[in-house]
Amino acid sequence: MEGVTLEIKENRFIKDFISEQDQMFIEMVRGFVDEVIMPIRREIEQSGRSDFKLIEDLQRKLIPLGFLSGFLPEEHGGMGIDSALTISILAEEFARGDASFFCSVAGGWWGMRPAIFAENKAVLDEFAPRFLGEDLYVACFAMTEPSGGCNIENMDMHGLGIKTRARLDGDEWVINGSKVWPTNSGIADLYLVVCNTDPDLGDDGIAMIYVPAPIDGFSFGRFEDKAGFRASREGDFYFDNVRVPREYRVAGPGRDAELLHDNIVFARIFSSAWAVGIAQGAFDEVLAFTRDKLAAGKPIRQHTIAAGMLADMAIGIQVGRDAYVNAAYLYDHPEIYGPRHSKQMLSRASIAKVFCCDMAVAATNRAMELMGSYGYVTDYHVEKYWRDVKIIQLWEGGAQLGRLDVARGIYDYDQFHRNEIYEKLHLKK
Ligand SMILES: Cc1cc2nc3c(=O)[nH]c(=O)nc-3n(C[C@H](O)[C@H](O)[C@H](O)COP(=O)(O)OP(=O)(O)OC[C@H]3O[C@@H](n4cnc5c(N)ncnc54)[C@H](O)[C@@H]3O)c2cc1C
């Protein structure tokens, strides 16, 4: 790869923001991606279309490195990696290789954060040790429902979009409802389920409850067949009077809603990093290809029109990286920048996500253009990055709710804003 790039990879991030321990962890993951994932990207995709054996074997390789439990607090046997910045940089590194591979292992990180922030001792005492075992133990954050993912993420809905019900019966929660799309559906050992106890209570009705699997009344549908993101599995599942202990609720009325919004903010930040990583992966491919392939007698990248396109890609990737690093830093310092679940923080995270996803979708598209038909075949992986990146733009609020959430942090934007004229027209009907 000599001569492909002059860029000093270590200088992509301002290292002062990251602890020495986290820096070592990032370097370990970078090495794992370069040495283990990159050479077998096609095989990983093929495994995702068949028996998943290769993918699970690769995930097992992460166990001794502490990757599947690193997010747990040290007193629960983990490495205490709780920095959104560190986790986002890891997401970028993994996405250079295969974003969906990281999506599956990140289920634990995403699903357990609310219990960690809430310091829910019952949940941590019960489930944290299981992440420390010798075999895979994965979690799932189950939010999306058939009636729409955005209806749950939309702060202005105050929980009204959540149809999955949780009712307290003695010392147990009884859960009824269904979820669609969560990563690790059907294979996770532990599910964090977003429920509503009473839609009339607004945010106080929002309850996040841990459900271990298998358990009576909990059943699964089929895995989805997707355009990309093949190393992770998504599907639907159903709760029919599923009973769990009352202490499996994350925190309580009000605090659960805050922690749900916090988890959405966090996911938007690391989704931005994911998009940057995919764009970087495609960029690395196209940079090498256009150095080696000639057009009109000289390397494609020596044509001014190609240099301009490559420069635009590099600008987008670095500005996107700076955006997510900035948002993650703010998120990691609520004592200075305010609560993580605030509208302002959601807005900053959404700025990063909307920008990074639009940028990465365009960058993978441009990379393919510069490679001609070779961009469209599996040998060069650019078509994989192109297929993978689109879902990141669609999930976590999509490009539309993402923009509304940007506005929410800037002025008193209210989805259900009413005025006199509206009310008159409405009453006339
Ligand atoms: C590979 C993959 C992994 C996933 N992983 C998970 C997971 O781990 N956990 C989980 O819970 N879910 C997961 N999802 C689901 C995903 O987060 C949702 O699909 C996403 O949030 C969008 O929801 P939806 O598809 O129901 O679309 P909808 O919510 O129906 O939105 C459809 C369109 O309407 C727009 N829209 C929605 N509301 C508004 C509004 N108020 N104003 C204006 N426009 C609006 C949206 O932006 C979008 O353009 C995953 C999906 C995939 C494909």
pLDDT of residue 420: 79
In a domain, 213, yes or no: yes
Residues 267, 404, single domain; the answer is yes
Q: Which contiguous run of DSSP H or E holds residue 182?
A: strand 172-183
Does the Cβ of 143 fall within 6 Å of ligand 1? Answer: yes
Q: For 246-300, how does the pLDDT look when each residue is reduced to its tens digit (9 = 90+)?
A: 999 999 999 999 999 999 999 999 999 999 999 999 999 999 999 999 999 999 9
Residues 190, 146, single domain; the answer is yes
Residues 207, 249, single domain; the answer is yes
pLDDT of residue 427: 64
Does the Cβ of 144 fall within 6 Å of ligand 1? Answer: yes
CA angle 99, 103, 104 (to 5 degrees): 130
Number of domains present in the structure of the chain:
3
Residue 180's nearest CA partner among 196, 165, 197, 193 is 193
In a domain, 18, yes or no: yes
Residues 270, 385, single domain; the answer is yes
Residues 260, 227, single domain; the answer is no
Q: Nearest C-alpha to atom 16 of ligand 1 is from which residue? A: 395
Question: Which of 207, 238, 253 represents a domain boundary (last residue)?
Answer: 253
| Residue 31, both tokens | 């090495």
Residues 205, 302, single domain; the answer is no
Q: Which residue has the tokens 């699903």?
A: 111
pLDDT of residue 1: 59
In a domain, 317, yes or no: yes
Does the Cβ of 69 fall within 6 Å of ligand 1? Answer: no
pLDDT of residue 166: 98
Residues in the chain where the model's pLDDT stays below 50: none
CB 213 within 8 A of CB 166: no
Q: For 32-81, how does the pLDDT look when each residue is reduced to its tens digit (9 = 90+)?
A: 999 999 999 999 999 999 999 999 999 999 999 888 899 999 999 999 99
pTM for the model: 0.96
Residues 374, 265, single domain; the answer is yes
Pocket test for ligand 1, best of 346, 401, 405, 415 (most atoms within 8 A of CB): 401
pLDDT of residue 17: 85
Residues 34, 125, single domain; the answer is yes
Q: Nearest C-alpha to atom 30 of ligand 1 is from which residue? A: 148
In a domain, 225, yes or no: yes
Q: Which contiguous run of DSSP H or E holds residue 50?
A: none
Question: Which of 253, 277, 293 represents a domain boundary (last residue)?
Answer: 253
Residue 387's nearest CA partner among 370, 375, 401 is 375
In a domain, 226, yes or no: yes
Q: Where are the beta strands (DSSP E) in 11-156?
A: 139-142
Question: Which of 253, 287, 314 represents a domain boundary (last residue)?
Answer: 253
Please tell me the distance from the alpha carbon of residue 243 to that of residue 355, in angstroms, as a whole number: 42
- Structural domain boundaries enclosing 69: 9-132
pLDDT of residue 268: 98
Q: Nearest C-alpha to atom 41 of ligand 1 is from which residue? A: 401
In a domain, 2, yes or no: no
Q: Which CATH number belongs to the domain containing residue 327 in this structure? A: 1.20.140.10
Amino acid at 190: L
Residues 383, 260, single domain; the answer is yes
Residues 186, 90, single domain; the answer is no
The CA–CA distances, whole Å, from 148 to 23, 145, 257, 368 equal 38, 6, 18, 32
Q: Which CATH number belongs to the domain containing residue 244 in this structure? A: 2.40.110.10
Q: Which CATH number belongs to the domain containing residue 35 in this structure? A: 1.10.540.10
pLDDT of residue 80: 92
Residue 210's nearest CA partner among 171, 242, 178 is 242
Residues 236, 275, single domain; the answer is no
CB 150 within 8 A of CB 210: no
Residues 249, 262, single domain; the answer is no
Residue 101's nearest CA partner among 77, 145, 134, 68 is 68
Please tell me the distance from the alpha carbon of residue 292 to that of residue 302, in angstroms, as a whole number: 11
